[in-house]
């Protein structure tokens, strides 16, 4: 079974530029998560989708970050404009359902460096 796919794996941009990340979850998984993992810290949830609806985006900096999952399958996360402090690994995860008994499967992440 294919895992969670993310692209690109690495991205280097200058501050104030825009960037977008793509995630394709495991087939059949209704719940999709985007996490931000700053170096030396654990992942922090940015946004959770259930199918194509947003369940939790309380920690998403909405002035510069946006995410969508239009058809309830793959998802994109965008940063516009990027700041230095956005340098991090952006992890996408998916699970069959939203309940705690549903294991989250993580993709390899996109490492973003903002110069």
Residue 17-46 contact track with other proteins, rule CB under 8 A, x = bound: -----------------------xxxxxx-
Among 61, 72, 81, 108, binds other proteins (CB under 8 A): 108
DSSP β-bridge partners for residue 94 = 32, 105
**Which letter does DSSP use for residue 58 in this model?**
T
Give the nearest distance from C-beta 49 to other proteins in angstroms.
13
Among 32, 107, 112, 114, binds other proteins (CB under 8 A): 107
- The Cα-based distances of 45 to 1, 2, 13, 50 in angstroms read 25, 23, 23, 14
Nearest-angstrom CA–CA distance, 42 and 37: 6
> E-assigned strands of 1-115?
5-7, 10-13, 19-24, 31-37, 44-50, 53-56, 65-68, 75-79, 88-95, 105-106, 110-114
Among 13, 20, 26, 98, binds other proteins (CB under 8 A): 98
Among 56, 61, 64, 72, binds other proteins (CB under 8 A): 56
Nearest-angstrom CA–CA distance, 50 and 53: 5
Query: 75 or 107: whose CB is closer to other proteins?
Result: 107
Give the nearest distance from C-beta 103 to other proteins in angstroms.
5
Binding positions for other proteins, rule: CB under 8 A: 4, 40-45, 48, 56, 91, 93, 98-101, 103-109
């Amino acid at each position: 079974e294919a895992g969670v796919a993310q692209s690109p794996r690495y991205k280097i941009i200058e501050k104030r530029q825009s960037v977008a990340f793509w995630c394709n979850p495991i087939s059949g998984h209704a719940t999709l998560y985007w996490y931000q993992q700053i170096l030396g810290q654990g992942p922090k949830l940015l946004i959770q989708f259930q199918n194509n609806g947003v369940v939790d985006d309380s920690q998403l900096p909405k002035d510069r970050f946006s995410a969508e999952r239009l058809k309830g399958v793959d998802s994109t996360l965008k940063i516009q404009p990027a700041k230095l402090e956005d340098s991090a690994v952006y992890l996408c995860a998916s699970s069959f359902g939203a309940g705690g008994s549903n294991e989250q499967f993580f993709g390899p992440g996109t490492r973003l460096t903002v110069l």
